[in-house]
A and B are shown apart, each in its own frame.
Chain A
Amino acid sequence: MGQSNTVRGALGTDADGSAGSDRSTHPTPHGSWTPSLDERLSALESPVGEALGPVLESIADEPDRITVVPDAHYPFHPSTGMVTDPAVVGAVLDHLSWRTDADLAVAGVSTECMPFERTAEYLGYPDLCERTGAELVDLAPDSPDGDFTRQVFPVDDRSVAVSVPEQLHEDTVLVVPSLRPTDEGNVAGGMRTLGGFADAVAESAPTAVAATRAIEPACCLFDAMTAYGDEPYAANALFAGPTPVVDALAASLFGAGFDDRVIELAPDATESATGVEPRSGSSPQIRVEAVGRTATDPAVDFGAQLDTLETRLKGGTLPPSDETHPAVSIAYRLYAAVGGDAVPPQLELRGGS
């Protein structure tokens, strides 16, 4: 994958906003979002190929199956940046189907809040998979495809036992996260996306690192076509590289104060992923290399775009919860008792009277 700590960066569309290869059929769009999945997919074919370049070459060694793992944790609209744009996944599948004879799969995991089947349906994955014959699989522990393998890794000077789906352990895996924060204020990167498939008793950060080591993804392709900071931002960018390195780049875009335990633990994983030992206690040194038309188009200043992206994402968090603060609920209940009013259901204390 080129230099060990290098991230390949590519614009999703040309500098003028058009869709790259064929300006006659892809005029400059209005607004930031192209609703047609077909048009987005068509526009992304070249940039995805350019970003993945060396990975696609290495994958030509013909693995039996390649599994693509997007951020499909909930059916948020892809224009929010809160999930991977299925068009990015579609472009990846197209490239893989051209380059290899391997079976293809797209994997997700059901959560307490949402079955993966429902999320995948609402995001349009069944049609997308049908185009390339890719299989859509739910790798939750209780699903039919949910066979797990258990491994133990040293993370942060302690042993972390982690069970990951057999399919992710055995397959060649491409993880395709979205560039956004999590509910807890971390980067929802490649490692945390893979950690979402793991069964472990450790906290989420060492679990994510251990899961990444167990799965050993071939590459992480960060979908930053639309990123989410405090609001969506049409960043129009893709970043590809070793998973811990791309995650570290993502964390750095959210700012120095963005304390992500996974990134803290990343040097360990980085060494595993890249074969290079980073400086002790430091984050990996990351170089972002513009590739393809992004590198050759004189109208593109990719460095400036990265700076803008950093400005837009810095300190970004998800919207506040609608959940009422307990202090507000208590105050309202006190008022209701004195004022003879009813307490709205939304202001009831959970599980309380």
Chain B
Amino acid sequence: MLSSTIGRLTGTGSDDLALGVLGVGNIGMVHLKSARSMPGVEVCAVADALPENRARAERVGVPQTYDDYTTLLEREELDAAVIALPPFLHADAVERAAAAGVDVFVEKPLARSTEEADRMLDTAREAGIAVGVDHTLRYQPDMIGVKSEFEDGTVGHVPYASITRLNDGPLGRPPVENAPPSWPLDPDAAGGGSLLELGIHCFDVLEWLFGELEVQDASTDSTLDIPVEDAATVLLRAPETETSITLHCGSYQWEQLPEVNTRLRLEGITGTISNQDHLPQNFYAGAAKSALTNVLGRFTGDEPDVFGPTFYLQAHYEALSAFCEAIRDGERPPIDGEDGRRSLALAETAAELAAEKNTAELEPLEVTR
């Protein structure tokens, strides 16, 4: 609990933060592994409906697993919980965590709608629990590099910026190796498509860079006959910096790891700031260098740069680490529920604008004589 966390850090019998992870699928497992590498954090238990996910968690060394998060929250003495469940379960998990007085770190999107987010935040406020949201882009080294250059004034005034985030979405790319999850393509379960899956990260990082944003226009599309959008383009305005911004997100492009297609460009008076200038020239060479640094650090007593060689996963570690540190210090999470709600509101406004245009296109023209 935000107000009394320091006094309650006794669930593990030590000063460690007692953490539970609700959902250990793909991203939940990243959070689990991050938490287990964090000084001052002890993962007490995880919950997942799938036996294979629980088995993976047990192999990692988690002492207790549950097949449903409700039981975990009832039985375990936790300080905080990571909610890495599909979006349609976020509200229920937050409600149950609030009843147990457990602070929460919620995977993005915070909720499926601002209405749902408001209910969650009201519940959290009444229970006095802290809500953090996993918006990782602003923890990525390339984004940090862009912000640093921007704040140093290296290109002067920035009238225009653009951000693009693309991946292959739930359907993936060949070769087909696993059955795709169905919930990301279910609007009731996910709340939407690319705007909530990818765009929401972009909204968060843009507000971090430029301050509050206004959505001016938007369009969405589906490249297949799927029930959610897999492409969205949004025109934004940042009044504080007087910057016009275009955002494009799409879950239609085959992704070849380790390359990740995120491009951020700030067009300034004297030049351009690009995140590409802050990525490793060669991912494999960068990974080797990071690994070597960590190995040498063992001999000098330095803490390892967790997930450093992977470049992108280290942002997830940093995001969770910052949340845990804030909880431990009795402070507001650096990216809290209000931040998550604001990104959600931008995505929602964009979706509504796009839907209005799509509806207008479908309406027959009135014939007058």
Residues of B within 8 A of A348 (CB): 56
* Contacting pair B304 A339 (CB below 8 A): yes
Choose from A121, A124, A319, A344 the contact partner of B33 (Cβ within 8 Å): A344
Contact with A along B194-215 (1 / 0, CB 8 A): 0000000000000000000000
Asked whether B291 is an interface residue with its Cβ less than 8 Å from the other chain, the reply is yes
Asked whether A340 is an interface residue with its Cβ less than 8 Å from the other chain, the reply is yes
A341 to B287, CA, bound (A): 13
Residues of A within 8 A of B37 (CB): 341-342
* Contacting pair B294 A341 (CB below 8 A): yes
List residues of B (51-72) whose CB comes within 8 Å of A's CBs.
56, 59
A113-B176, A113-B178, A318-B175 known; A339-B294 Cβ under 8 A: yes
A75-B171, A343-B33, A344-B313 known; A338-B295 Cβ under 8 A: yes
Q: Name, among B33, B298, B308, the residue most crowded by chain A CB atoms within 10 Å (CB to CB).
A: B33
Choose from B26, B171, B182, B297 the contact partner of A345 (Cβ within 8 Å): B26
A118 to B183, CA, bound (A): 13
A344-B307, A348-B56 known; A112-B179 Cβ under 8 A: yes
How far does the Cβ of A80 sit from chain B's closest Cβ, in whole Å? 8
Choose from A323, A332, A335, A344 the contact partner of B30 (Cβ within 8 Å): A344
* Contacting pair A338 B298 (CB below 8 A): yes
A2 to B34, CA, bound (A): 66
A343 to B36, CA, bound (A): 11
How far does the Cβ of B228 sit from chain A's closest Cβ, in whole Å? 11
Asked whether A183 is an interface residue with its Cβ less than 8 Å from the other chain, the reply is yes
Asked whether A114 is an interface residue with its Cβ less than 8 Å from the other chain, the reply is yes
Residues of B within 8 A of A353 (CB): 59
For chain A, the bracket of interface size reads: 35 or more
A113 to B175, CA, bound (A): 11
Asked whether B257 is an interface residue with its Cβ less than 8 Å from the other chain, the reply is yes
List residues of A (67-114) whose CB comes within 8 Å of B's CBs.
73-77, 80, 82, 112-114
Asked whether A321 is an interface residue with its Cβ less than 8 Å from the other chain, the reply is yes
* Contacting pair A342 B307 (CB below 8 A): yes
* Contacting pair B223 A114 (CB below 8 A): no
* Contacting pair B29 A345 (CB below 8 A): yes
A338 to B295, CA, bound (A): 6
Asked whether B309 is an interface residue with its Cβ less than 8 Å from the other chain, the reply is yes
A77-B223, A321-B175 known; A114-B254 Cβ under 8 A: no
Asked whether B123 is an interface residue with its Cβ less than 8 Å from the other chain, the reply is no
* Contacting pair A121 B306 (CB below 8 A): no
* Contacting pair A183 B306 (CB below 8 A): no
Given contacts A127-B225, A318-B174, A340-B297, 14 further A-B contacts (CB under 8 A): A74-B174, A77-B223, A82-B174, A113-B177, A122-B224, A319-B174, A332-B309, A335-B291, A335-B309, A338-B298, A339-B294, A341-B307, A342-B37, A344-B33
B residues bordering A, Cβ < 8 Å? Answer: 26, 29-30, 33-34, 36-37, 56, 59, 171, 173-180, 182, 223-226, 252, 254, 256-257, 291, 294-295, 297-298, 304-310, 313, 317
Interchain residue pairs with CB less than 8 A apart (25): A74-B174, A75-B171, A75-B224, A76-B173, A77-B224, A113-B179, A114-B179, A114-B180, A122-B171, A122-B225, A122-B226, A123-B224, A318-B174, A318-B175, A319-B173, A338-B298, A340-B304, A341-B305, A342-B306, A342-B317, A344-B30, A344-B33, A344-B307, A345-B29, A346-B257
